[in-house]
Structure 1
Amino acid sequence: MMTPTKLKIFTGNANRPLAERIADSLGDSLGKLSVTRFPDGETSVRIEEDVRGRDVFIVQPTCHPVNENLMELLVILDAFKRSSPARITVVLPYYGYARQDRKDVGRVPITAKLVANLITAAGASRVLALDLHAAQIQGFFDIPLDHLHAAPVINEYIRKLEIPNDQLVVLSPDEGSIKRALSHQKKIGGSLAIVDKRRSTATETHQANLIGGDLRDKVAILFDDMISTAGSLVGAVNVAVQAGAREIYACATHGVLCGSAIERLKNAPIKQIIITDTIPLPPEKQLPNIKVVSVDFLVANAIKRIHHNESVSKLFE
């Protein structure tokens, strides 16, 4: 078994505050790593401490700007690969390109697989990911991947709201999220309802019907893996309003919040939007009803278990 002194957390520029909280939860400080830019924009990396024989964890979500943060991760990985650590684990709180996980039309790439290949080739020994958009992405890696879920963190926050069980309805925003909704319902109680979502184009959807569940004078709580443009979410919220819901909460692991998301959310009748800190929330995207909960303790526990060669799945039993 490795000794605790050999574990070290490093991070790039994608989400340093989260990496600092993870390191703090482990009772340590971040490793010394300099990530800068050459005048022409190229990424420059230097590890400023000895890592030979260490169990290295690199925290770097590939969020916006996606290509820059991904390239930064790859260069960091190469620097570590050439510095002889015992193992390099990439901690991906958010996996960019995850939605390009299949060929849904002809002559398109499967970029989620390409990114997996790049991370592996750059020197990663294993990956720790959080709420992948599609579970099959785990199979895109030829190295071990541990898949975490932010559900325990979000469920704990919902329970603290103390919504009476007979007043709570867990609302799945589409048919593809039913399994996730059921998982949350088992932990927080309430009944279940599903929004029938129809996709008209790659970027546009419309919500047609409500399946099951009576929302009249109830509190509806929506769960999804991410809020991107918020089109699907706001569409589901509108269905809940039309069905008579008195309060609506929206929960998601990843607050991507791109395009017209903030404008849509600002005008939507949502009491509270609960997201995690897998992606940093800049000031221009902060709304009064957005609540950010941290996954630092969850990720820190997973890192500790990986380091000591213990089961990660025990975290969700």
Structure 2
Amino acid sequence: MLTLPPLLFALQGSESYAVRVAQRLGCQLARHEERDYEDGEHKCRPLDPVNGREVVVFHALYGDGRQSANDKLCRLLFFCGALKDAGARQVVVVAPYLCYGRKDRRSQPQDPTITRYVAAFFEASGVDRLITLEVHNPAAFDNAFRMPAWNLQCAELFAEHFAPLVGDAELVAVSPDSGGIKRTEQFRQALERQLGRSVGSALMEKHRADTTLTGTLLVGDVCNKIAIVFDDLISTGETLKHAGNACRKAGAGRLFAAATHGLFTTGSQLFDPPIFEHIAITDTVPPFRLPPDCVTRQLQVLDSTALIATFLAENGAFDCV
């Protein structure tokens, strides 16, 4: 019996990303319906038959002007439940940006560990597998999910971007805090593979009390070198600023930054005044909070859809990428 390829669905707000993945896989998005009711409730249902099929659902769970992260999460969970009720054999969620990834531990008495609760929601809705990009804490992510869940890392993608820009200059990969050491080390190793030579490393001291950042110690030599501050996401941008200013003070010759998810919750504050020659992000979250001229001059947005398409092709029923 011929095995049918998976059906790909994209909920409202994630269509553009999903279409680009589908194009790489040589297929089109399946049809579905989303309806909003007067009291704020909603429903989503597939319009193409899903009985006995493997189904892939795309939804990036960041808040925007139309829906909050909570709204998107709720819609995704309900839609996955509807797919299972309609007979879908397997439901795979692709969430390029996964919400609540930063609330993964107790920092105060009686604190919630929301990453674990989100994992339970996915499991209760019948989701069989989850694919996401560059989670905040890989260990907490691995421990939260009992179903198969994959965290695809973007170190190689950023290394491919920066390698042609640095020439023969000495290069240092900078972690903006102790929590990002392993992530930055993966990026450093990817740069070494791309360049065929050694790349240095540095670490910025950071302590956070509410919204205040402190810490002045920069471990590592950046003087007269190209420094690239590497992180998983940009929210207010204060962490990148903190590390970038320290690198400037320590004599860095050129300064760049990179992060997979660009939330930019305070708008263009990170770029006023600009510290970095440019900041590279991926397309998991569109930079909708930034003015167009800021995106054009200060930002480089990298296409991450090949990572998703390749992973689906290697772990699903697609013939090509």
Shared fold (TM-score greater than 0.5)?
Answer: yes
2:212 corresponds to 1:204: yes
Kept after mapping to 2: 8 A contact 1:126/1:143: yes
Q: For residues 243 and 162 of structure 1, what CA distance do their matches in structure 2 show?
A: 19
Letter in 1 for 2:302: V
Match of 2:41 in 1: 42
2:158 corresponds to 1:154: yes
1:50-89 alignment, distance < 5 Å = 50-64=49-63, 65-89=68-92
Match of 1:237 in 2: 244
Superposition deviation, residue 248 in structure 1: 1.1
Superposition deviation, residue 239 in structure 1: 0.4
* SS of match in other structure, 1:102: coil
1:225-250 Cα offsets, whole Å, 9 max, x none, are 11111111111110011111122111
Letter in 1 for 2:217: N
2:285 corresponds to 1:279: yes
Q: Indicate how the Cα distance of structure 1 residues 175 and 49 shifts in structure 2: closer, same or farther if over 3 A, else same.
A: same
How many residue pairs match? The answer is 304
Question: Structure 1 length normalisation: TM-score?
Answer: 0.91
Q: Indicate how the Cα distance of structure 1 residues 25 and 97 shifts in structure 2: closer, same or farther if over 3 A, else same.
A: same
Q: For residues 157 and 146 of structure 1, what CA distance do their matches in structure 2 show?
A: 23
Q: For residues 174 and 53 of structure 2, what CA distance do their matches in structure 1 show?
A: 45
Q: Which among 93, 113, 117 is matched to residue 110 of structure 1?
A: 113
Q: Indicate how the Cα distance of structure 1 residues 131 and 32 shifts in structure 2: closer, same or farther if over 3 A, else same.
A: same
Q: Indicate how the Cα distance of structure 1 residues 176 and 50 shifts in structure 2: closer, same or farther if over 3 A, else same.
A: same
2:271 corresponds to 1:248: no
Q: For residues 17 and 160 of structure 1, what CA distance do their matches in structure 2 show?
A: 28
Superposition deviation, residue 284 in structure 1: 3.6
Q: For residues 173 and 229 of structure 1, what CA distance do their matches in structure 2 show?
A: 14
1:13-32 alignment, distance < 5 Å = 13-32=12-31
Q: Which among 250, 265, 271 is matched to residue 265 of structure 1?
A: 271
* SS of match in other structure, 1:267: coil
Q: Which among 276, 281, 305 is matched to residue 296 of structure 1?
A: 305
Q: For residues 46 and 54 of structure 1, what CA distance do their matches in structure 2 show?
A: 15
1:107-256 alignment, distance < 5 Å = 107-135=110-138, 136-164=140-168, 166-189=169-192, 190-199=199-208, 201-213=209-221, 215-256=222-263
1:230-283 Cα offsets, whole Å, 9 max, x none, are 11111111001111112211100111211x252123323111110001112216
Question: Structure 2 length normalisation: TM-score?
Answer: 0.90
1:46-105 Cα offsets, whole Å, 9 max, x none, are 211111111111111211121111111112112111111111011111110111111111
Q: Which among 83, 101, 105 is matched to residue 104 of structure 2?
A: 101
Letter in 2 for 1:296: T
* SS of match in other structure, 2:217: strand
Kept after mapping to 2: 8 A contact 1:6/1:53: no
Superposition deviation, residue 298 in structure 1: 0.7
Superposition deviation, residue 204 in structure 1: 2.2
Superposition deviation, residue 162 in structure 1: 4.0
User: Which runs of 5 or more structure 2 residues have no equivalent in the other structure?
Assistant: 193-198
Superposition deviation, residue 151 in structure 1: 1.5
Q: For residues 182 and 285 of structure 2, what CA distance do their matches in structure 1 show?
A: 24
Q: For residues 132 and 254 of structure 2, what CA distance do their matches in structure 1 show?
A: 32
Instruction: Give the 4+ runs in structure 1 shifted more than 3 A.
Output: 283-286
User: Which runs of 5 or more structure 1 residues have no equivalent in the other structure?
Assistant: 310-317
Letter in 1 for 2:303: S
1:181-228 Cα offsets, whole Å, 9 max, x none, are 2211112132111111122x1332124111122x22221101101111
Superposition deviation, residue 2 in structure 1: 7.7
* SS of match in other structure, 1:264: helix
* SS of match in other structure, 2:287: coil
